[in-house]
Chains A and B, each alone.
Chain A
């Protein structure tokens, strides 16, 4: 009996440590990564030090993602912020065979069809970047400041639904975080529940 309780405690501790180590919280340094983009280029996050970076978790089969692409909201945000020097990285963490997994050509076709305008779309079929940031959903959004610190982590906006009608009246947390940070103010809403579909990681 004693032995089994001890085993349970040890297992719990190990699991605890593993989950603490894997997440990047608001206020922490954004963990660096290297990834291959759908355009064939290699992207190092550290190369963007000095700029604001937005990470957008994506899965083209998810209705919550569909809400923001079919309404044109995501493309509008991408264009608005990249035109102001923000780096926008769309990240695809679906494992092969799971919903939202695409190869480079399929992703390039999607970007063209949707008139999406991220700086790059990063292919993350192993889920490495997703796990590094403990991404739970699509579309989870993370904002990193020019010093490389995570200043926002969570939902795209305050309407956790799949309804296209909810886009116009929503408060967009990503834009608000960027506006506040660029004005030298602290980000008022720095962490929210990232609504959407679960990220389809491999087993």
Chain B
């Protein structure tokens, strides 16, 4: 399906959908060189793709599993998103009562903003995909296997169990401390919720013997305190981890409410 400055396809990971099983669908964007779409937190400008599903009875959609975003910088502005090509995967859960039949149709109404560094073009697209329903456990679709495998590699992982992450509120910034058991020289944080971190502000990293300390300037739009910091931590070699930690008061700060 052509979209502005690219193509968009709705694809499935399996050959059919089975009652009581989950199936991953993918929104595969292939954009012209230097055009991009946005992450769930788009950063300073832009907006993420929005999808409304039309699902067969007995099927429910989970949330989009967003690949690790990239920083898209223009003078004075930092956005988060994906250039050239990306697949957004979404789990679909089929109820055990879904009855085997010839085929069911999945529909997706999308609103997508496609941008280059120079301009943005909003678009609306309707996609559909027909899949058989079978009782047998689903078999992977060979034509999309590579794409889904590559997409899974681009998803941030759960933080390793042995790591300890702390986030302290230090007035105009959050200080994220990671104890990983070894020194870490490179880390960039992407907040999943907009207006928490100043996107364009430099993130000051201080390596430590057992990890690192990263200072994140708060967004000017953050006027009320937040309880948790959720986001993606990207280390060297594109290793990326999901973090979701409570925010504590900085040591030496006041304990008064």
A interface with B by C-beta (< 8 Å): 5, 8-9, 12-13, 15-16, 19, 23, 25-26, 61-64, 98-99, 127, 130-131, 134, 136-137, 153-154, 160-163, 190-193, 195-203
A16 vs B217: C-alpha distance when bound (angstroms):
9
Point out residues on B near A: beta carbons under 8 Å: 44-47, 74-77, 79, 111, 113, 115, 118-122, 194-195, 198, 200-202, 204-207, 217, 220-221, 223
24 contacts between A and B (CB under 8 A): A5-B207, A16-B202, A19-B200, A19-B201, A19-B202, A23-B220, A25-B220, A26-B220, A61-B119, A136-B44, A136-B77, A160-B47, A162-B122, A163-B111, A192-B195, A195-B45, A195-B47, A197-B119, A197-B120, A199-B77, A200-B74, A200-B118, A201-B74, A202-B75
Determine the chain B residues whose CB is within 8 A of the CB of A15 once the complex forms.
Answer: 202
Give 8 nearest A-B pairs by CB, closest first. Answer: A198-B45, A162-B122, A201-B75, A136-B44, A198-B77, A191-B221, A15-B202, A193-B195
From DSSP, what is the main secondary structure of chain A's interface residues? loop
For A25, what are the chain B residues with a Cβ–Cβ distance below 8 Å?
220
Report Cα–Cα, A15/B201, bound state, in Å.
8
- Nearest residue (CB) in A for B173 is A16
Question: Within the assembled complex, what's the spacing in Å between the Cα atoms of A61 and B120?
Answer: 9
Chain A residues within 8 Å of B201, by CB: 16, 19
Q: Is the CB of A137 within 8 A of B44?
A: yes
Is B45 a contact of A196 with CB atoms below 8 Å?
yes
B220 lies within 8 A of A191 (CB)? yes
Kindly state the separation between the CA atoms of A197 and B116 in the bound complex, as whole angstroms: 11
Nearest residue in B to A99 (C-beta to C-beta)?
B119
Is the CB–CB distance between B221 and A16 below 8 Å? no
Q: Which residue of A lies closest to B116 (CB)?
A: A99
Determine how close the nearest CB of chain B comes to the CB of A5; give it in whole angstroms. Answer: 7
Contact A162–B113 (Cβ < 8 Å): yes
- Give the chain A neighbours of B111 by CB distance below 8 A: 161, 163
Q: Which residues on the A side are within 8 Å of B205 (C-beta)? A: 8
